[in-house]
Chain A
């Protein structure tokens, strides 16, 4: 990701021209640090607040609920196929969105309307660090961005170090019941499982959320099933699921779906919570 900051130095700037390329490959030009930002992705919304730019966020999607103060920002509805008039009605000077192929047209129309629009694909832990630094440059606080990235990566390293010599349980990530969906290696949650000392049985699948058969899950015979608290109850009572030894042994672990949900500032905490599930007592 080539970042073409004319005066890259990383020091906080109240104003300053900036040019960078986003994940649609489009050049994003900012004449000055943005003052009114609409963020259309829960991860970037949370990041902007963590970078101290929460007071500049003037619009979010209905799914952007973190941190708590983000709920006070007016919602413009859905983030995918967003309502462009609702966004423009917030008079933004920067729109940050998820780089989903179906929203390329929306990004182009926003740019044509004169609003700087940056689309980022945040799927992996590495994307978090990369996008945090880019957001830091855009809002003019690269130092704070570096601090946030260092703090999160520091926690991740601490967890990785604490669990790396332990036996690795194989983990099935239950993402959805009908159809049965899991999380492949392309998801940051799969990476978090590795950091926390587990091994995702589907980490070799590139798709972020592939549909799989229950029989194939049984063939891979996971030690642990990671599931949302609601699904856990259903699963333990289901005859189909009890075909899995892990379910019969009660190795169905509920994870915090509010914490392990976004590739954002909570990544470190999320890794800690998973490590507690896989290896109780190893981390303080």
Chain B
């Protein structure tokens, strides 16, 4: 039995992403005719337009897309593995750990060079601590325990951030606060290349394990009965999802609500199995963050709004409407 939504689902998601990308390179404070944008994309015509499109808009849109895809993948994998619709990378200590690393780098005055490395290290450390806490609690991969351990690590990270910022000079506080609001304004091709590596490797691993996520989503007992070691599988998937999320946080700071909301959007399109859910979440997440960044840089010219605030403002009402439908 196929419905209309079943037939249009994939064309819709791909179209949304393509459209978002086209809008993002076409629109900005400098107005360019559609033909000029197209020529600039192909490297032809007015050199000034080529600069605007290829140096300023395209790397930004690609970075936004990678961030969205990474967070969407990560959220979809975690929600399935944890059997919890609220699971998302930011709730599991990843964002908190990354923020501690970033804030520390900023406060020590090495922010410019080491911030992404510090953020990444902080996130990986937070995930390691989460595993350790869960292990100490006597379970290696119990989804609920991992979730709770992640929340506790996140809360601890928040208090560390407040301690650091409370004594940091005001310039460092400004840097850190803006970083925590998320931005893709400083996108470069080299940054995009390494983030793409993480998203492709991590996302590829998650796609490979998608069947295991399907089984885990049925419950640990069922999974064990089906011949899967649930704790080891959950740990693997958690680590890959956290790594992808950590890479996005290192590249663009905290872009909230994407990892939480995007899998719900895709499930709303009737996708249940995790392989298509992961792919769909990557597409929808990319489209969403590209459009959110377009809004962030064009809604209040010449100023720029914090990207994380825009995604959260879009995400909260959507999530509330989903809750109403579920309740």
Q: Which residues of A contact B (CB under 8 A)?
A: 62-63, 78, 80, 176-180, 202, 205, 210-216, 218-219, 234, 239-240, 242-243
Which B residue's beta carbon lies closest to that of A221?
A: B48
Task: Kindly count the residue-residue contacts between A and B in the assembled complex, taking CB atoms under 8 Å apart.
Answer: 69
Give 11 A-B contacts (CB < 8 Å), ordered by A residue: A178-B185, A179-B183, A179-B304, A180-B304, A210-B303, A212-B302, A212-B304, A213-B28, A216-B29, A216-B302, A240-B55
Nearest B-chain residue to A219, judged by Cβ: B30
Kindly state the separation between the CA atoms of A179 and B185 in the bound complex, as whole angstroms: 8
A105 to chain B, nearest CB (A): 17
The residues of B that contact A239 with a CB separation of less than 8 Å are: 55, 188-189
- List chain A residues, Cβ under 8 A from B231: none
- Contact (A179, B178) CB under 8 Å given A213-B302, A215-B297: yes
Known A-B contacts A215-B52, A215-B56; the reply to A178 vs B304 at CB < 8 A is no
Instruction: Name the CB-closest residue of B to A80.
Output: B170
- Cβ distance B54 to chain A, nearest Cβ, rounded Å: 9
> Inside 8 A of A243's CB, which chain B residues have their CB?
51-52, 55-56
Cβ of B44 under 8 Å from chain A: no
A176 to B176: give the CA distance in the assembly, Å: 13
Q: Is there contact, CB below 8 Å, between A218 and B304? A: no
User: Do the beta carbons of A213 and B304 come within 8 Å of each other?
Assistant: yes
Residues of B within 8 A of A219 (CB): 29-30
Binding site for A on B (CB under 8 A): 28-30, 51-52, 55-57, 112, 169-170, 174-175, 178-179, 183, 185-186, 188-189, 297, 301-304
Chain A nearest Cβ from B164, distance in angstroms: 14
Contacts A213-B29, A214-B185 aside, 6 further interface pairs with beta carbons under 8 A come to A62-B169, A80-B170, A177-B186, A178-B186, A239-B55, A243-B51
The CA-CA distance from A214 to B29 in the complex, in Å, is 10
Set of chain A residues within 8 Å of B185, measured between Cβ atoms: 178-180, 213-214
Instruction: Write out the residue numbers on chain B whose beta carbons fall within 8 Å of the beta carbon of A214.
Output: 56, 185
Which secondary structure characterizes the binding site on chain A?
A: loop
Contact in complex: A202, B55 (CB < 8 Å): no
* Bound CA–CA A177/B112 (angstroms): 10
Whether B30 pairs with A218 at a CB distance below 8 angstroms is yes
**Min CB–CB distance B186 → chain A (angstroms):** 6
B301-A216 in contact (CB<8A): yes
Most chain B beta carbons < 10 A, residue from A177, A202, A211? A211
Q: Which residues of A contact B28 (CB under 8 A)?
A: 213, 215
Cα distance A84–B233 in the bound complex, in angstroms:
55
Select from chain B the residue with minimum beta-carbon distance to A241: B55
Sorted nearest first, the 10 A-B pairs with minimum C-beta distance are A216-B302, A216-B29, A243-B51, A243-B55, A212-B302, A219-B30, A215-B28, A179-B178, A213-B297, A213-B304
A46 CB to closest chain B CB (Å) equals: 18
Residues of chain B within 8 A (CB-CB) of A78 are 169-170
B170 closest partner in A (C-beta) = A80
Task: Kindly provide the distance from the CB of B8 to the nearest chain A CB, expressed in whole angstroms.
Answer: 35
A202 adjacent to B183 (CB under 8 Å): no
Complex contact B179–A215 (CB within 8 A): no
**Inter-chain contacts of B56 with A (CB < 8 A):** 214-215, 218, 240, 243
Whether B179 and A178, one on each chain, are in contact in the complex, defined by CB atoms closer than 8 angstroms, is yes
Question: How far does the alpha carbon of A223 sit from the alpha carbon of B142 in the complex, in Å?
Answer: 61
Given contacts A78-B170, A239-B188, contact A178 B52 (CB under 8 A): no
Could you say which residues of chain A place their CB within 8 Å of the CB of B169?
62-63, 78
> Nearest chain A CB to B178's CB is how many angstroms away?
5
Which of A178, A215, A234, A242 touches B178 (beta carbons < 8 Å)?
A: A178
A178-B57 in contact (CB<8A): no
**Complex Cα–Cα for A210 and B302 (A):** 9
Give the distance to chain A from B169, nearest Cβ to Cβ, in Å: 8
Smallest distance from the beta carbon of A98 to chain B beta carbons, Å?
12
- Chain B residues with CB under 8 Å of A242's CB are 55
The residue of chain B having its C-beta at the shortest distance from the C-beta of A176 within the complex is B174
Evaluate contact between A211 and B304: CB separation under 8 angstroms.
yes
Q: How far is the CB of A52 from chain B (nearest CB, A)?
A: 30
- Note all chain A residues with C-beta closer than 8 A to B57: 215
A243 to B54, CA, bound (A): 10
Residues from chain B with a CB closer than 8 A to the CB of A210 are 302-303
| A83 vs chain B, min Cβ distance (A) | 11
Q: Is the CB of A240 within 8 A of B301?
A: no
**A180 proximity list for chain B (CB < 8 A):** 185, 304
How many angstroms between the C-alpha atoms of A63 and B172 in the bound complex? 14
A62 cross-chain contacts in B, Cβ below 8 A = 169
Expressed in whole angstroms, the minimum distance between the Cβ of B182 and any Cβ of chain A is 11
In the complex, the answer to whether B52 meets A218 with C-beta atoms within 8 Å is yes
Report the separation of the CA atoms of residues A218 and B30 in the bound assembly, to the nearest whole angstrom.
Answer: 8
